Amino acid sequence: MAAEFLVGLMSGTSLDGVDAVLAAFDGKRVECLGSRHVPFNDAIRAEALALHDRGDNELHRAALLGNRLAHAYADAVKALLAKVSRGDTPIRAIGCHGQTVRHAPQHGYTLQLDNPALLAELTGITVVANFRSRDIAAGGQGAPLVPAFHDALFRSPDVHRVILNLGGIANLTDLAPGRVTTGFDCGPGNMLMDAWTQKHLGQPFDRDGAWAETGTVIPELLERLLTHVFLALPPPKSCGREEFNLAWLQTQLSGRERPEDVQATLATFTARTVVDAVGRYCGQPEELYVCGGGARNGMLMRLLAEHPLKWRVATTDFLGLPAEHVEAMAFAWLAWRTLHGESGNLPAVTGARGPRILGAIYPA
């Protein structure tokens, strides 16, 4: 099969912007040909955050934000294609995850804002979007969807690996030789750390965990955070800003804590939720590979490596795909599978009644 080029777009719960990749697929080979990150402006970030909560005129505001996102996604696609040489090879499609503002599988819905029709119009490229809804319709959580891509790209026939995606939310993929692939959301990832950094430093995130390194973990606060009800739920499970947010964090604080100590505690909280989830549901993996923005947080990586699970900890760079490109690549791959009539979910991960072809296609 001749290689086909697709663009993958991912904007996650961190709300930092759009990750765009150009990917090549031929049924066996998966290759990232180039990437581009385009930050969100303050207006998009603020409105996306506001729409996580109930408010006035929500339908109109959500539709307008979908239009703004379509323009932001189109700008990212154009910036990517201007940067990456591809000769005369056409782009088969764009796989666009959209911006999650509500995730409520317990009520049978999830909402990722975008305007795929407008994105197709702006770029002249077919768009595949709305990946989560079909899995939810089949009784699943609709997330995480990236474990299927992890299975296709990172599985080893003889080494037990776990892939950790540290985005706004953290999720695990358990790749044990001879066993079906499993996975689930395991906790807050970068979300609480980012929110606390924005509140106190006015910066989008704690670069390399440097601010957290200046603090001291507060044991009592850590233990309170670890009692969050989501952490005790068995898989399949998924979560979002509904469970882990700044308002919830404030309820756990006395108000007398030093901000840097809270940040150190939040970093330790994220690491503990990962380690506890692996120990409870993944057995004894030999290797842990980390992707997502959290892979560039030196303190988080150190905390994961120092834990006595005796695993090797590294980023997915060592498996051939840079950590910050994995999720966008996954949605290019999912779009490729949709166009070829192949399923994209893993029922053992999401809890769906069976494999399903995901996404809706908006032709150019």
Does residue 351 share a domain with residue 291? no
User: Residues 162, 68: one domain?
Assistant: no
List pLDDT tens digits, range 232-257: 999 999 999 999 999 999 999 999 99
The letter for the amino acid at 307 is H
**Distances from the Cα of 60 to the Cα of 54, 55, 121, 183, 247, angstroms:** 13, 11, 21, 36, 25
**How many folded domains does the chain comprise?**
2
Instruction: Check residue 25 and give its pLDDT.
Output: 92
Q: Taking each helix axis from N to C terminus, what angle separates 298-306 and 259-281, rounded to the nearest 10 degrees?
A: 40
Residue 168 and residue 279 share a domain: yes
Tokens found for residue 73: 């996604």
Residue 289: the pLDDT is 98
Residue type, 289: Y
118 & 181 share domain: no
Give the integer Cα–Cα distance in Å for 34 and 31: 9
pLDDT in tens, 258-286: 999 999 999 999 999 999 999 999 999 99
Residue type, 278: V
One domain for residues 156 and 224: yes
Let me know whether 294 and 169 are in one domain.
yes
pLDDT tens sequence across 197-220 = 999 999 999 999 999 999 999 999
Local confidence band at 79 (pLDDT 50, 70, 90 cut-offs) = very high
Residue 305 sits in the same domain as residue 333:
no
Pick from 53, 64, 11: nearest CA to 327: 11
Same domain, 55 and 32: yes
- Are 315 and 168 contained in the same domain? yes
Report pTM.
0.95
- Whether residue 268 sits in one domain with residue 157: yes
- Domain residues for 186? 146-319
Q: What is the CATH number of the domain that holds 216?
A: 3.30.420.40
Does one domain contain both 49 and 109? yes
Q: For residues 92 and 6, is the Cβ–Cβ distance under 8 A? A: yes
The string of pLDDT tens digits covering residues 38-75 is 999 999 999 999 998 888 999 999 999 999 999 999 99
The set of residues, in sequence order, having a beta carbon less than 8 Å from that of 85 and lying 6+ positions away, is none
Upstream peptide bond of 116 is cis (omega within 30 degrees of 0): no
